[in-house]
Chains A and B, each alone.
Chain A
Amino acid sequence: MLLEPLALTEETAVARLPRRHAETLCEGHFPGDPFLPAATLVWLMAELGALLLGRSGEAPAAIEHATFRQPVRPDEPVEVVARRLGSARVDAEIRVGATRRAGGRLRFAAGR
């Protein structure tokens, strides 16, 4: 996992994205104007959501919705926050400082 966990409780997980990884994830997106792709932000939210649910490395079954408010630049301090919604769903967001840049709701396969 690229994220470095900062806090993990039964209900909430918080992690940071190291800058070196952020720069790698922006390669080709875009030359001279780098920011993290929307799909990558979803992936980061899914990674932390899976960790919170005790399902590290598992892909989500569905992304119910995800919105992207502002670009996330690789030189910014990126944090990911996930909150449990039952056994298989999480709400997650990408934050830079006090600003929510993206957020979404993800669902993992039921029956675990």
Chain B
Amino acid sequence: MRARVLPEHAASLLRHRPPALVLGTLRRFDGTALACDSRGAGPWAWPALLEGTAQAAGLLAGLQDGGPDNSAVIAEIRDVLVRVDGWAGVVRFEAILLRRVLGFWRCRASARGEAGALLLEATVTVAAPRGRR
């Protein structure tokens, strides 16, 4: 993995814009994992928590060498555990790269509350756009 200077805000790497943009400040990236705070303090219904995990996975895939650009799409979501109906407060989204197969990047991602409480977790497969897989 090449060293790279990362921007502070996820918005500069994603093409999501408010209100669809869930991710805010990028807190950590170590090559195969990242952590990112939510954009604001919600409140977040569970679909927004799921969307945040998808954005975290997309961001992590895009930061890989040879990763997709910001036109990547979500191909699959599986093994989702929804532990809360919703949440008020800043959410920490984390993603870990599990594997890459051709033009697909599979990540395990989670949403946690400020005290580290697990709110939602999911396995998200990010795909390069059709024609670039």
Contacts A27-B19, A28-B19 given; indicate if A38 touches B74 (C-beta within 8 A). yes
In the assembly, what is the distance between CA of A68 and CA of B46, in Å? 19
Chain B residues in 8 Å Cβ range of A61: 81-82
* Smallest CB gap from B76: residue in A: A67
What is the predominant secondary structure among interface residues of chain B facing chain A? Answer: mixed
Shortest C-beta distance, B97 to chain A (Å), equals 18
A30 close to B16 (CB less than 8 A): yes
Please give 20 more A-B residue pairs, beta carbons under 8 A apart, in addition to A30-B20, A31-B17, A40-B47.
A27-B19, A27-B20, A28-B18, A28-B21, A29-B20, A30-B15, A30-B17, A38-B73, A42-B47, A42-B50, A42-B77, A59-B82, A62-B82, A64-B78, A65-B76, A65-B79, A66-B77, A66-B78, A68-B74, A71-B73
Is A60 in contact with chain B by the CB < 8 A criterion? yes
CB-defined interface of B4-15 with A at 8 Å, one 1/0 digit per residue?
A: 000000000001
Binary CB contact string for chain A from 38 to 49 against chain B (1 if under 8 A, 0 otherwise): 111011001000
Q: Measured between alpha carbons, how far is A26 from B46 in the docked complex, in Å?
A: 17
Among A30, A61, A71, max chain B CB count under 10 A is at: A30
B16 and A66: CB pair below 8 A? no
Question: Given A60-B82, A61-B81, A63-B122, is A37 in contact with B20 using a C-beta cutoff of 8 Å?
Answer: yes
Q: A: which residues have CB within 8 A of B?
A: 26-31, 37-40, 42-43, 46, 59-68, 71, 104
Q: Is the C-beta of B114 less than 8 angstroms from some C-beta in chain A?
A: no
B51 CB → nearest A CB, Å: 4
B80 contacts partner chain A, Cβ-Cβ < 8 Å: yes
Chain B stretch 61-118: residues in CB contact (< 8 A) with chain A:
73-82, 85
What is the number of contacts between chain A and chain B, taking CB atoms within 8 Å? 80
B26 contacts chain A at the CB level, 8 A cutoff = no
CB distance B16 to A28 under 8 Å? Answer: yes
Q: Separation in Å of the A34 CB from the closest CB of chain B?
A: 10
With A27-B19, A31-B17, A37-B54 already in contact, the answer to whether A59 and B85 are too (CB < 8 A) is yes
Output the nearest chain B residue to A29 by Cβ-Cβ distance.
B20
Determine the distance from Cα of A40 to Cα of B15 in the docked complex, in whole angstroms. 17
- Determine the residue in chain B with the shortest Cβ distance to A44: B47
Tell me which of B17, B21, B47, B81 contacts A43 (CB under 8 A). B47
**Cβ of A64 and Cβ of B79 under 8 Å apart?**
yes
Q: How far is the CB of A97 from chain B (nearest CB, A)?
A: 20
